[in-house]
Amino acid sequence: MPLPLRKGEFQQDFDVIILQMLLNIEGSPARRLKPDGHFGDGTLEAVIKFQKALSPPVPLETLGIVDERTWRELQAKVGSPRIALTFDDGPHASLTAPLLDGLDWWGAKATFFVVGEMAGRHPQILKRVADSGHEVGNHSWDHTGYCRPSFADIDAVIEDVRRAHEAIVAVVGQAKAPRVMRPPYGWVDTFREDRIQHIAGLDYAVVGWDVDPRDWESPAKAIYDYVLLNTKPGVNILLHDIQKNTMVAMLGNFGGASLPGVASVGALRVLCTVYELVTVSQLAGVGKTYSKGGLTSRACPALAPSSPSN
C-alpha cells in the first residue's frame, strides 16, 4: 500500500477506513466517529498494538507505519467474516434494480423481505432478485403490523402470511419459495412467532435484525456512517430497498445525489472489501432455524397513528 500513520496525522481515504474496520474486527478499538462525521484518531494506537503482537514484532522504528507485512498479516488474521444485508418492503419500481446491479458487481448476496402486494406489482424485478441468487423472504401481504386489532385472531396472521407466500411463489416458483419471515416492524409475540414457524407446509424461520440505521428517516451519510461503525462479524443489517437515501448510502451515488469525499465509494464497496456478504440463511448455517436480533419476540407497542417502515 503502504499507509504511514503517525501521531498527529489523519488520513481520510478509502484504505484507512478499510484498515479501521479490520482492526476493529481484530479487537482493537480503531474507529471513533467525531461530531463532524469523520473517523477519529484511534487508528494509530490500534496499529501499534497489532504490530507489537506479531512474531517477530515490527521493528521499533517502523511502529505505526502500515507496511505491506502489517497489511498482509492483518488481512490473514481477520479472514473474510460473514455478514448479511437484508432489504425490506420491496421490490421497488426504480430502486431495487440498481441495487441488484451493485450487488452483482461486487459478487454479494442479500436477503429481500418482500411484501406480497409488491410482488404482484413488480414481478419481473422480483424474479430477477431470485434468479440472481439472492434469498427471498416473506414480509406480509401489505405491511400491516400484526399487533393491530385486525390481527387479534392468530388465524388472520396465518392467512396474511400465506397470502403473501402464494403471491411470491407465483413469481419465483416453488423451488425458491421463501423460508424466512420478517414481520412488519418486528411486531410479533412469542406465541405468534411459534405459530408462524409452523404454518402447515411453510415452516418459516422468523428473522429480526442486529443493525438498524433507521434508513427510512436518515440522510444518506448518516446511514453510511452508522452501518460502517456498527457492523461486525455475524450481524444482519436492516435496510429498505424503497428508500432513495439507502441507495445513495450503499452505492455512493444515485439519482443525482452522492456521498461526499471518500464515502462516494458507497458502503457496499467497503463492506464487500472486508466481509463476505451472504443471505441470512447462509449466515445461520441452517435455513430454518435463524432468529436474530432479539426483535422477533418483543411486545406489541402502544399503537400510534403512523409508524416507521421496517
Residue 92: active-site member: no
Reduced to 3 states (helix: H, G, I; strand: E, B; else coil), residue 128 is helix
Catalytic hit among 92, 134, 165, 240: 240
Nearest alpha-carbon partner for 267 in 242, 283, 235, 245: 245
CA angle 248, 250, 254 (to 5 degrees): 30
74 contact partners, CB below 8 Å, separation of at least 6 = 19, 22, 23, 26, 50
Contact, 233 vs 83, CB < 8 A? yes
CA angle 90, 94, 99 (to 5 degrees): 70
- Residues found in the chain: 310
Residue 240: active-site member: yes
Helices (H) and strands (E) in the chain, counts: 12, 11
Query: Which three cell numbers mark 14?
Result: 478509502
CA dihedral 219, 220, 226, 228 (to 10 degrees): -170
Reduced to 3 states (helix: H, G, I; strand: E, B; else coil), residue 208 is coil
307 contact partners, CB below 8 Å, separation of at least 6 = 145, 185
Distance CA 82, CA 67 (A): 26
Catalytic hit among 88, 89, 160, 241: 88
DSSP letters along 59-106, please? Answer: PGGGTTEE-HHHHHHHHHHH---EEEEEEES---TTTHHHHHHHHHHT
Task: State the catalytic residues.
Answer: 88, 240
